Amino acid sequence: MSDFSDLVGNVSTVFRNVLRLRAPTLRITIRLGDLDAVFDPVGTVLGKKQRLQALGYYYEVITGPAAGNNVTEAFTNCLAAWRRKREATLGAPFANDAAVEADMQAQIRVFVLEGGALPAVGGEVRVLLPGALTFNNNADLGAGGNADGTALPSLRFNDEGTMWANNLPLGKIPIIALVEKDTGGGSSRMRRAQAAALSRRIRNVTTLTQAAAVSAGCRC
């Protein structure tokens, strides 16, 4: 039969008169949250810009003249291109703007995390991220667009960094975690200790799975 120390912890072998309490038994269950919820409202221009970038259709940096809800030629053309492609796939035109927005949200929910679901234990799933900018204008290629023998500046790298810095929802995977604590008597006595919605940027996608594969989401 177990003695008292076995039930509550064990006596330290390093420090005198110290009882190390046994840690409570916890059960943590996680599930995927709403992948669309990390973006601004889909009814806004900014919300559509963020989603189009996540889907790989819009690469304008959301700053300067294109900041926030400002409507630019690039945004208008990219939204139109995405709409045409979706209507062709669906085989029918959208009835109204609300239908366009609902479909965009549905696409986010199955595209950002491949299949729209967390992997099974030991499994893998791809997190799809947008590709990258190429260049903003011909001057970015060098003198008049012609190679002049000198190294090109890091314009593409800088533009990519600006794109990501101004669209913070990119790379965020919302995880809902339920933490239960054993109050005695095993699993039949597990009770909810805490339930919290965690939304975090997955900088290293291996924290999501054992070996998650990253794929560029360019859909241009």
- What does the DSSP assignment read for 113-124? BGGGSPPPTT--
3 state SS of 214: strand
For residue 199, pLDDT beyond 50: no
Give helix then strand counts, H and E, for the chain: 5, 7
The residue-averaged pLDDT of 66-80 equals: 94
Most confident of 88-92, 129-133, 181-185, 205-209: 88-92
Give yes or no for a contact between 191 and 181, defined as CB atoms under 8 angstroms apart.
yes
110 vs 160 pLDDT, higher one: 110
Give residue 69's pLDDT.
94
Q: Residue 64's pLDDT band (boundaries 50, 70, 90)?
A: confident
Give the model's pLDDT for residue 139. 66
Residue-level pLDDT at 136: 62
- Tell me how crowded residue 82 is: count the other CB atoms within 10 A of its CB: 22
| Cα distance between residue 54 and residue 33, in whole Å | 17
- pLDDT, one tens digit per residue, over 14-62 is 666 565 656 667 788 888 999 999 999 999 999 999 999 999 999 888 9
Tokens 């239960």 — which residue?
Answer: 180
Instruction: Determine the pLDDT at residue 109.
Output: 95
At residue 163, the pLDDT reads: 83
Amino acid identity, position 52: L
Q: What is the pLDDT averaged over residues 77-102?
A: 97
- In angstroms, the CA 104 to CA 20 distance is 54
Segment among 132-136, 169-173, 206-210 with least mean pLDDT: 206-210
Query: 172, 202 in Cβ contact below 8 A?
Result: yes
109-153 pLDDT tens trace: 999 998 899 888 888 888 888 876 666 666 666 555 556 667 666
- Does residue 216 carry a pLDDT above 50? no
The Cα–Cα gap between 106 and 116 comes to 10
Q: How far apart are CA 67 and CA 61, in angstroms?
A: 8
- Mean pLDDT for the stretch of residues 179-206: 48
> Greater confidence, 185 or 102?
102
Cα separation of 200 and 169, whole Å? 9
Instruction: Give every CB contact of residue 130 below 8 A, 6+ residues apart in sequence.
Output: 53, 54, 55, 56, 59, 170, 216, 217, 218
Each residue of 99-131: b (16+ CB within 10 Å) or e?
ebbebbbebbbebbbbeeebbeeeeebbbbbbe
Mean pLDDT of 172-198: 63
Cβ proximity of 182 and 190 under 8 Å: yes
